[in-house]
Amino acid sequence: LAFAMNPGTLSDVSDTSDGAGVLYLQDYADVDEAKMNEELPDFLEELRQSRKGETFSAWINQQMDSVRMNTDSSDEGSPASN
């Protein structure tokens, strides 16, 4: 999103996993390639771990919802629910 913007502009509202947000691009900065090459592997590993956690969390929530649905539907025929 930011790479398509011009300096001094405000983006449209963009949905995120946590809600929504806007960007204000003050200016572009030159890249320190040596620093980027040094820090990139650790950054990518953190990103991978974060995405793995998000994926697992979504999967476990889906499993829990499935168990709740099965439990709710099986309660309909039990004596306690009559």
Strands (E), 1-82: 9-10, 14-16, 19-21, 24-25
| pLDDT tens digits for range 26-57 | 999 999 999 999 999 999 999 999 999 999 99
- The pTM of this model reads 0.52
- Is pLDDT at 81 greater than 90 in this prediction? no
- Is pLDDT at 76 greater than 70 in this prediction? no
The neighbouring-strand residues paired with 61 are none
